[in-house]
């Protein structure tokens, strides 16, 4: 039956404290694991928000991320300080990514870079970086079609889309419907915070109702990206 599956990943970026605690709670209520992508230095006092989308919204720290991980959620890297990696020289992008992974190594329990998915800030990568990155992580997420093939052995490049800066619910609904009406595959949609937190947010009730509706469809599986990648058909 696995080859009939529609896998859905809502990939929540940036590590907003209040939103992520609420998202975790909603996923748990629906017996699901959420997918959080965290900026390695986002919680530090000297962190400078890279853009308006993040403003002064409070971020969680690794104490929170370890706790959420223990509760079954997935915590993955989303950069050292949210630099757009296609805006800086290759060597600088490389060291930012390595610094990000170093912090994850020392702060996140049981972190293994070679099992991790690097989620490019702004979903912005370069072919050169993508090629190098696969020597240090298992896979990466970058911009492209939200509809990916079902996970296969050696799958490295995950593509995603999103909508902002305003509420992204109707964009997400349209893309999700198109996916569910199409052949089996893996839908990866890039989300951020709840209510007014972050770029392209969704409502708290919307998320709860969406998960409730999707979990009753027998062929739909809602999974964090790392868990989905472990399903090899």
Which residues contribute to the site for Zn ion (CB under 5 A)? 13-14, 121
Q: From start to end of 117-222, where are the E strands?
A: 117-119, 139-143, 147-148, 157-160, 185-191, 220-222
d(CA 189, CA 171): 10
Nearest-approach distance from CB 35 to Zn ion, in angstroms: 13
Nearest-approach distance from CB 172 to Zn ion, in angstroms: 17
Residue 118 or 150: the one with the smaller Cβ distance to Zn ion is 118
Residue 104: both structure tokens together: 């994850």
Residue 85 or 175: the one with the smaller Cβ distance to Zn ion is 85
Residue 14 or 197: the one with the smaller Cβ distance to Zn ion is 14
Residue 13 or 197: the one with the smaller Cβ distance to Zn ion is 13
Nearest-approach distance from CB 180 to Zn ion, in angstroms: 26
CA atoms within a 13 Å half-sphere pointing along the CA-CB vector of 91: 0
Nearest-approach distance from CB 190 to Zn ion, in angstroms: 8
d(CA 27, CA 227): 15
Nearest to 124 by CA among 92, 155, 84, 88: 84
Residues contacting 144, CB < 8 A, separation 6+: 123, 159, 160, 161
Residue nearest to Zn ion (CB): 13
Nearest-approach distance from CB 53 to Zn ion, in angstroms: 8
């Amino acid at each position: 039956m696995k080859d009939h599956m529609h896998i859905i990943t809502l990939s929540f970026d940036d590590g907003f404290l209040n939103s992520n605690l609420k998202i975790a709670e909603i996923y748990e209520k629906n017996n699901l694991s959420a997918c959080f992508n965290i900026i390695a230095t986002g919680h530090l006092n000297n962190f400078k928000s890279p853009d308006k989308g993040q403003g002064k919204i409070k971020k969680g720290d690794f104490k929170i991320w370890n706790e959420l991980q223990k509760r079954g959620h997935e915590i993955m890297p989303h950069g050292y300080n949210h630099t757009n990696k296609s805006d800086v020289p290759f060597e600088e992008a490389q060291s930012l990514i390595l610094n990000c992974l170093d912090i994850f190594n020392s702060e996140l329990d049981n972190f293994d870079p070679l099992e991790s998915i690097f989620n490019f800030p702004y979903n912005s990568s370069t072919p050169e970086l993508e090629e190098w990155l696969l020597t240090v992580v298992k896979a990466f997420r970058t911009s492209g079609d939200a509809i990916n093939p079902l996970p296969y052995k050696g799958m490295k490049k995950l593509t995603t889309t999103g909508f902002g800066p305003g509420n992204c619910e109707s964009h997400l609904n349209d893309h999700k419907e198109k996916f569910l009406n199409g052949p089996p595959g893996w839908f990866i949609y890039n989300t951020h915070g709840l209510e007014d937190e972050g770029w392209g947010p969704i409502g708290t009730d919307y998320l709860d109702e969406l998960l409730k509706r999707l979990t009753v469809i027998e062929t739909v599986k809602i999974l964090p990206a790392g868990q989905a990648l472990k399903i090899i058909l």
